[in-house]
């Protein structure tokens, strides 16, 4: 695996707090073996820091922003206060995913009777280049190995890669919802509504789930579960359009709302 020796300015890094002194703290960079950064007390927290150990403690895991890198002096300046909670959560999750992907590739290598370095050279580095991270490649394989094959990847390693991905990666799904106001002025309008709502729950994708439930006349809630937001929104749009077209043909109407109407 190709690794950088130093982080870049502006990069978010995961580190473990080492020695804490009155003027700042030293941080061992978990993603850069052998590298240590320093957080000056002015970069620990916003406002005046009376006691530094109220904000940071030895062995604590932290996410910092890289302010300056002096490779010649082997010095890295970090900031703790310039990282918000959202960035912290995302970075920690990214770091955990990277660690997990590394362990999974070690298992693939073991199955193939090769070293991890050999696997990186043969296909790992290309997977990272194509999908951004090794973990994303494992996600794609767990979802559908044909995605990798269509992207030009081939070889006996694909079988082991798929097997380990499916056994260890849970595909993330998103849920979105909206509300429908469905009306009909025909004598058997309720039957038309029931029939089209059932058909609207059908999707061409196996991994998409659409559910429409009665809330209170004439409102219904529509929920869509899909692998990502783009697919979820597209499937909801198609379901709503299907209902609208049907109701117009049967002297009715359908309106879509993001929030439940009072």
pTM value surpassing 0.85: no
In the predicted structure, residue 173 carries a pLDDT above the cut 90: no
What's the chain's average pLDDT? 93
Please compute the mean of the pLDDT values over residues 221-236 and round it to a whole number: 92
**Backbone angles phi and psi of 191, in degrees to 5:** -70, -40
Render pLDDT for 21-44 as a digit per residue (tens, 0 to 9): 999 999 999 999 999 999 999 999
Measured distance between the N- and C-terminal CA atoms of the chain, rounded to whole angstroms:
56
pLDDT value for 7: 95
In the predicted structure, residue 165 carries a pLDDT above the cut 80: yes
Neighbours of 102 (CB within 10 A): 15
CATH of domain 12-82: 2.40.50.140
Which pair of structure tokens corresponds to residue 229? 């937001």
pLDDT value for 256: 95
Please compute the mean of the pLDDT values over residues 242-257 and round it to a whole number: 93
Please compute the mean of the pLDDT values over residues 99-127 and round it to a whole number: 96
What is the residue extent of each domain of the chain?
12-82, 86-168, 174-257
The C-alpha atoms of residue 208 and residue 220 are separated, in whole angstroms, by: 19
**Backbone angles phi and psi of 261, in degrees to 5:** -80, 145
CATH of domain 86-168: 1.10.150.190
Render pLDDT for 174-223 as a digit per residue (tens, 0 to 9): 899 999 999 989 888 889 899 999 999 999 888 899 999 998 878 999 99
Please compute the mean of the pLDDT values over residues 70-85 and round it to a whole number: 96
Per the CB < 8 A criterion, the answer to whether 150 and 131 are in contact is no
Render pLDDT for 49-77 as a digit per residue (tens, 0 to 9): 999 999 999 999 999 999 999 999 999 99
Please compute the mean of the pLDDT values over residues 127-147 and round it to a whole number: 93
Fold of 174-257: Alpha-Beta Plaits (3.30.70)
């Amino acid at each position: 695996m190709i690794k950088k020796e130093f982080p870049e300015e502006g990069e978010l890094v995961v580190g473990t707090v080492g020695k804490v002194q009155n003027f700042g703290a030293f941080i061992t960079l978990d993603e850069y073996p052998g590298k240590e950064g320093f957080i000056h007390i002015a970069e620990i927290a916003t406002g005046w820091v009376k006691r530094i150990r109220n904000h940071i403690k030895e062995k604590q895991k932290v996410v910092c922003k890289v302010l300056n890198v002096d490779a010649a002096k082997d010095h890295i300046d970090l900031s703790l206060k310039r990282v918000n909670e959202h960035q912290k959560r995302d970075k920690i999750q990214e770091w955990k995913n990277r660690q997990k992907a590394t362990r999974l590739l070690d298992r693939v290598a073991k199955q193939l009777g090769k070293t991890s370095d050999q696997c990186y050279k043969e296909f790992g580095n290309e997977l990272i280049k194509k999908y951004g991270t090794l973990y994303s490649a494992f996600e794609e394989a767990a979802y559908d190995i044909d995605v990798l094959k269509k992207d030009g990847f081939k070889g006996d390693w694909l079988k082991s890669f798929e097997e380990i991905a499916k056994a260890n990666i849970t595909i993330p799904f998103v849920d979105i919802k909206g509300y429908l106001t469905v009306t009909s002025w025909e004598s058997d309008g309720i039957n038309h509504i029931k029939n089209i709502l059932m058909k609207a729950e059908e999707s061409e994708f196996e991994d998409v789930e659409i559910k429409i439930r009665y809330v209170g006349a004439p409102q219904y809630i529509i929920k869509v579960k899909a692998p990502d937001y783009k697919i979820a929104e597209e499937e909801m749009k198609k379901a709503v359009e299907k209902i609208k077209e049907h109701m117009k043909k049967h002297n009715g109407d359908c309106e879509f709302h993001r929030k439940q109407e009072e």
